[in-house]
Copies of this chain bind each other. A is one copy, B any other.
Amino acid sequence: MSENKIPYKIYLSEEEMPKAWYNVRADMANKPAPLLNPGTHQPMTAEELAPVFCEELVKQELDDTTAYIPIPQEIQDFYKMYRPSPLVRAYCLEEKLQTPAKIYYKFEGNNTSGSHKLNSAIAQAYYAKKQGLKGVTTETGAGQWGTALSMACSYFGLDCKVYMVKCSYEQKPFRREVMRVYGASVTPSPSETTAVGRKILAEHPGTTGSLGCAISEAVEVATSTPGYRYVLGSVLNQVLLHQSVIGLETKTAMDKYGIVPDIIIGCAGGGSNLGGLISPFMGEKLRGERDYRFIAVEPASCPSFTRGKFAYDFCDTGMVCPLAKMYTLGSSFIPSANHAGGLRYHGMSSTLSQLYHDGLMEAVSVEQTKVFEAAEQFARVEGILPAPESSHAIKVAIDEAMKCKETGEEKTILFGLTGTGYFDMVAYEKFHDGKMTDYIPTDADLQVGFDGIPKFPGNEF
């Protein structure tokens, strides 16, 4: 099909939507390292994971050989409610930039969670329901994951207990309110509802909480309440698997129109969106079928890939979770104020970490004022108000398009636009008022986090 026939937005038909998730680990020669029991330093077994996660999700977490895992019909039906998401040709942005590059983005924000998070939330809720559970627990910071999970649980009639970092709970009352629309109970963390919460409150009266603390509370409730399990919105292999629906739809849409991306860009916090977007393309690269450039974009204030260590570390600040081998800033690293709450995570998906370690993808870090400049430029021509997280990818996509303008190359750039910024207007306001500052941790700042990474034989870094 000729170039000028490509529409502004490509939607797949229901028949063209993926029927199976793609598990990129199956095509990796160097598999991501397994989760370790923090006590024994031995790989976590399915039995050890079962009290925390649903059975089917444990299977998915540990399966690094099955390339395609069928999407249950109920989940396919739910996906039809808000998917396929559009693959957008950014004609307006291209014209504004006067670049010969062709820019595409896969937009995941057209659902109430405002992001791609729903793709995994509905899968995790489905398996919980199928297992006969009563409900699930989770933590949320920025609130997109909490919203997505609330929606998913409401759909399947599951109880949903969200521990929301107290400062977010207070600063983002509207996020909290959306979760209440879906009937979720939202508790500011730390709280009096758990032993760990009471302990923290006793030790640190007046604390505004942290993601690590919220995880600890959610895990405690899940493991101590019959019929409950804990669910997580990023980092895990199972989450990347579910998020592959993003990349699969994108690839089908591109194949249909004969579009081949040269560069694929995504923001990276825990890696759920980036991993999902690139998976099928990375599979081709791993199988030697086609080469692509992949670029992970992270905030300069929380630079796991670009300045972190590749080592076994705790997934949570509370150090109650298994150890994962990943690029990490140390579980005790507290990212400074950064408005992309979804990217404020000390670690990174093990799968993406291994791919990065093996030189199969690149990573760059960007400063937030530049990110908001890109966000505003994008909003003005593409009619979407992007989330700060997503805008990291926009920033680098624009940078790459401008390089094409200099060189005259007609590269095809694809990026993931994970969501909308309707609940991030405080950050936009700071940006408009010139009150937004950038922060780049010093080596000494980072060393504090590195010092907290557990030391044991085989975990040299």
A-to-B contact residues, CB < 8 Å: 7-9, 11, 13-14, 80-82, 91-92, 110-112, 114, 118, 151, 154-155, 173-174, 177-178, 180-183, 376, 379-385, 420, 422-423, 425-426, 428-429, 432
Contact = CB atoms under 8 A, between A and B. Distances in A.
Given A13-B7, A80-B8, A380 B177 contact: no
Contact of A177 (B81, B178, B181, B429): B429
Contacts of A111: 383-384
B11 A11 contact: yes
Contacts of A376: 181
B379 A112 contact: yes
Nearest to A380: B154
Nearest to A183: B380
B13 A383 contact: no
Contact of A428 (B82, B92, B114, B181): B181
B177 A428 contact: yes
A181 B81 contact: no
Given A81-B91, A111-B383, A183-B380, 12 more contacts: A8-B80, A81-B92, A111-B384, A112-B384, A112-B420, A114-B422, A154-B381, A173-B429, A174-B422, A174-B426, A178-B385, A181-B428
A385 B112 contact: yes
Contacts of A92: 81, 155
A171 to B, nearest CB: 13
Contact of A7 (B9, B14, B155, B379): B14
Contacts of A381: 154-155
B7 A383 contact: no
Nearest to A150: B380
A178 B375 CA distance: 12
A347 B92 CA distance: 38
A164 to B, nearest CB: 15
Contact of A432 (B180, B423, B428): B180
Contacts of A420: 112
A82 B8 CA distance: 9
A453 B356 CA distance: 72
Nearest to A376: B181
Contacts of A429: 173, 177, 180
Contacts of A383: 81-82, 111-112, 118, 151
A380 B11 CA distance: 24
B8 A177 contact: no
A177 B425 contact: yes
A206 B376 CA distance: 34
Contacts of A112: 379, 383-385, 420
6 contacts: A151-B380, A151-B383, A155-B381, A177-B428, A181-B432, A422-B423
A180 B425 CA distance: 10
A83 to B, nearest CB: 9
A447 B174 CA distance: 38
A376 B432 CA distance: 34
B181 A385 contact: yes
B380 A181 contact: yes
Given A112-B379, A155-B380, A423-B422, A80 B14 contact: no
Contacts of A7: 13-14, 80
Nearest to A378: B181
Contacts of A8: 14, 80-81
A81 B360 CA distance: 34
A429 B80 CA distance: 29
A81 to B, nearest CB: 5
A183 B377 CA distance: 10
B425 A178 contact: yes
